[in-house]
Amino acid sequence: MTISAIKKELHEYIDRADDNKLKAMHTLLEKEVESMHYSSDELKKFYDILDNYESGNMETFPVDIAHNEIRASIPSR
């Protein structure tokens, strides 16, 4: 079954489900649903960073250089 078909089937089921089943499904998925939302503070940080990046006020590095910097900062065992 394709993901699209699964989504359609679940939407149809939710539309017909009784209150107790909906509450049970919500309980099972509650943490997942909550993690899909960003707080206003998180969104502000994101947009501040994006604004700095787009205005050229932020120094960026290619991925390979960033990886090397991160690896160099980790103490070896």
Q: Between 52 and 31, whose confidence is greater? A: 52
What mean pLDDT do residues 8-33 have? 91
32 vs 11: CA distance, rounded Å: 17
Q: Say yes or no to pLDDT of 34 above 90.
A: no
Cβ-count burial 53-66 (b if 16+ within 10 Å, e if not) = eeeeeeeeeeeeee
Q: Between 77 and 32, whose confidence is greater? A: 32
Domain ranges of the chain: 3-35, 40-73
What average pLDDT is seen over the chain?
Answer: 90
What mean pLDDT do residues 15-20 have? 94
